[in-house]
Structure 1
């Protein structure tokens, strides 16, 4: 049952086995793992601890206990149990890898790389290990090896490509067509379509496959000759995936294509939203406080609406919510303000609408979401609020982004702590507003 993802049913069977024999180790460990997969790490830990009481030092119990503790953010404790597993079984590639993940989440990047390399020495075909090594290398600005390792993502579940056509490796296309598949999130598509004109420059005809929410925005994008919806099989001479392009073009810190704007709103649509916005004479600020609910990193990329509250008090401002999740309108309706909040999230049907609103704003303040990439790609002044361990594309210890010249980065100094971030944002906004004449 657990192997097919039916964890609730599996947990019930494991509990039944433990009623018969409370000391049955496999059931105890497997129940913990089922609970962990059900998002109940606290309960999982209780069963793993009982398993360790029954068999101290059991390698797989230590490993699974490390996983549960890491899920709770108890990273030092998690690392300690991974080390115990490695001591008991030095060739346990999974324990080396997950120790690397714990190091990464603590911001110990050199140690993470070392642990990932050890895991890969033991399991050279471990795709997830290669991808996590890539992400860490790219975060640290190690582009050449990072891009090469990042290609292992194509061996991850759901990423495999069927053949034909053959994959493109950067050779001149000389009139041939290429099917480029968007991958991962909306932000990834918006960030990396900047490479499509570079394909055209090799003589290629670009067929770009993306999700429907992007199609109206990108239908006039100059780097695209034909749009297709994700999942469609468009006839082409070659194929590639969007995030393979930086590696194919050998991108490094000096060669990031950073000319903006490379995305523009439809002028007629922007005019319609200008009328909807109103607020003439006010400084218009778009904001987003939470990542997509389906993003597995949502808890790191999101903050509470309350952190924006002090910003709402600035005079001569109109704060425009671009937050699209179902509960956003309810939370905003309950929020006290000076009458300068406008909730547009529920009215935005796709990214063409969002771009048309952004075109009418003076500033966007957002956590790490697709809106940050959209605003940056449009050349709009954008303040992006980053977690302690940021996504690799934001690199480390810098306030600017080489991808987006109009963007400023505000970083958490420690995990989960948004207070210092907004302690920087508020005076920065005050200085900006003070420099303007209303």
Structure 2
């Protein structure tokens, strides 16, 4: 058979998707004709798709050596270099292809893909637009244009370009995946799930498709479905520690703590230096009441990619529990306001060791913490001291003190008040039981959509007589009072709050606080004011599992959601309990 016939046979196999047979055919041709540029180039292309980038690069360079003025092998070389992570070299190769042939839309598309990976999104956009001017019906160009737009924060434009790609090719897996991910990030979960499920049908062996769908299902509150797709992804990529971590998190959310521990411990045995594995194990252990090991594992948080609090730049050694009598210790606050309030209970314990304590926190907490008798001073991050003997982060103190479930320091109150007559004069005007309400926390907290509500959530309570209600809500959701069924029954105290010292003053003048899991709940507990805390399912790890009290706050009663989206049972129970609270003798 002639060389041209052999090449045609190999191309037919290639076009029909018989890639292994095509590769063998190309190799036969190259053995007989080492300078057959088509066989060299097409075999290199097959190897790129197979992830065999080193051999693909070698073959593409052989093809270029045969004919340096043929653009095709430069594109294939660029693809091999891109796959190998050699991005700048890939850009040079695609650019070389376009110097030879400026009318090759695939080269513009692939160049745009690498430019996006390099973060050079404006250049990627220009490359896509140039390619589309040559071929306006190439879906991949719209997909890459969408990637660039999304990276620049132009979400609507990105969505439109992904949709154009899918209009041209409804089963384009990359566009399905990218649009699904974009919609998931925009919290349009039902639309995202439909697209990502379709991507899996088209390409069921791609672990990222299963993984991304699992992430979206979890965000949408469909935890058991998310678990199933994480497990699918793990079967396809058994050593992927991101999948393992997220599967463990999802198991924890469903209360499967033992399963989560087994999964994480097994992964840690394989890679003992992965901080995310240790960090997630810490959260599981603490939720399960295994504090001794949990607090030790908790120290990995500073190295974890999922931990957002910045590590402070200290000018003194880290305190490890040694004698600090007569020394100055700076305690850095971390994480959320509620965390800071909860763990401020440790500051008096440090003071009892003879240290002078300076607390560094966000401005909203400086007055509140400055009133703690055992500390020297409380400053915000802009006024951090430059001279001290040791430092420590606030949530490392449970480890220093060897806290177990039985030794939680729960002497309350451990916070003191600053007088604010403007607030107390308002509450004095009202009669009956005085009840504060807080229905939402910060929207930036992970999974806030499950714990926070709108003001009308508390509408059933407003039918109970003998109660004066006060809103402790701050921020834009404070205006929810206006949309409640009986807004005239809710006095807005939140508008008077400049910081948590003001909030504390308001709470101390009340008989009861009813709050979702937010800083208000922690503050009420720290002040030893009766507080009914409404917990979503899943709840935060520090609230532990299957108990209606808290070892951290003696005055707290926990109302746990039995299943996601079922709040009716909880609000009915709270109504009944509030009626009893009002009428108790």
Same fold (TM over 0.5): yes
Kindly indicate whether residue 369 of structure 2 is the aligned counterpart of residue 193 of structure 1: no
1:232 deviates by 4.1
Kindly indicate whether residue 376 of structure 2 is the aligned counterpart of residue 225 of structure 1: yes
Aligned to 1:409: 558
Distance 2:579 2:565 in 1: 25
> Does structure 1 conserve the Cα–Cα contact (< 8 Å) formed by 2:371 and 2:416?
no
Distance 1:424 1:10 in 2: 46
Aligned to 1:243: 395
Question: Paired residue for 2:465, among 303, 309, 315?
Answer: 315
Please list, as runs of the form range in 1=range in 2, the aligned pairs for 1:174-189 lying within 5 A after superposition: 174-189=325-340
Question: Paired residue for 2:319, among 152, 168, 176?
Answer: 168
Please list, as runs of the form range in 1=range in 2, the aligned pairs for 1:26-425 lying within 5 A after superposition: 26=174, 28-156=176-304, 158-234=309-385, 235-266=387-418, 268-269=419-420, 271-329=421-479, 331-337=480-486, 339-425=488-574
Aligned to 1:6: 152
Q: CA, structure 1 residues 18+422, in 2 after alignment: closer, same or farther (shift >3 Å)?
A: closer
Q: CA, structure 1 residues 432+40, in 2 after alignment: closer, same or farther (shift >3 Å)?
A: closer
1:328 deviates by 2.3
Distance 1:3 1:417 in 2: 45
Is there any run of 5+ residues in structure 1 with no aligned partner, and where?
Answer: none
> Does structure 1 conserve the Cα–Cα contact (< 8 Å) formed by 2:412 and 2:526?
yes
Q: Deviations over 1:92-139 (max 9, x none)?
A: 222222211221222222222222333434443332332222111111
Specify the structure having the higher radius of gyration (Cα).
Answer: 2
1:416 deviates by 2.7
> Does structure 2 conserve the Cα–Cα contact (< 8 Å) formed by 1:362 and 1:381?
yes
Q: Deviations over 1:190-230 (max 9, x none)?
A: 11111112212222211100111111222221132122212
Q: Greater helix percent: which structure?
A: 2
Distance 1:251 1:314 in 2: 41
Distance 2:186 2:397 in 1: 36
> Does structure 2 conserve the Cα–Cα contact (< 8 Å) formed by 1:2 and 1:10?
no
SS in 1 for 2:486: coil
Aligned to 2:579: 430
Q: CA, structure 1 residues 254+224, in 2 after alignment: closer, same or farther (shift >3 Å)?
A: same
> Does structure 2 conserve the Cα–Cα contact (< 8 Å) formed by 1:57 and 1:84?
no
Q: CA, structure 1 residues 22+341, in 2 after alignment: closer, same or farther (shift >3 Å)?
A: closer
SS in 2 for 1:284: strand
Is there any run of 5+ residues in structure 2 with no aligned partner, and where?
Answer: 1-115, 120-150
1:2 deviates by 7.4
Q: CA, structure 1 residues 194+22, in 2 after alignment: closer, same or farther (shift >3 Å)?
A: same
Q: CA, structure 1 residues 430+208, in 2 after alignment: closer, same or farther (shift >3 Å)?
A: same
1:296 deviates by 2.3
1:231 deviates by 4.8
> Does structure 1 conserve the Cα–Cα contact (< 8 Å) formed by 2:535 and 2:558?
yes
1:263 deviates by 1.1
SS in 1 for 2:247: helix
> Does structure 1 conserve the Cα–Cα contact (< 8 Å) formed by 2:221 and 2:564?
no
> Does structure 2 conserve the Cα–Cα contact (< 8 Å) formed by 1:91 and 1:122?
no
SS in 2 for 1:56: coil
RMSD: 2.5
SS in 1 for 2:310: coil
The answer to which of 86-95 and 1-10 deviates more is 1-10
Q: What is the TM-score of this pair, normalised by structure 1? A: 0.91
Q: CA, structure 1 residues 21+420, in 2 after alignment: closer, same or farther (shift >3 Å)?
A: closer
1:347 deviates by 1.9
Distance 2:579 2:194 in 1: 49
Distance 1:38 1:31 in 2: 11
SS in 2 for 1:327: helix
Bigger relative CO (Cα 8 Å, ≥ 6 apart): 1
Distance 2:245 2:210 in 1: 14
SS in 1 for 2:476: coil
1:319 deviates by 0.2
> Does structure 2 conserve the Cα–Cα contact (< 8 Å) formed by 1:42 and 1:68?
no
1:19 deviates by 6.7
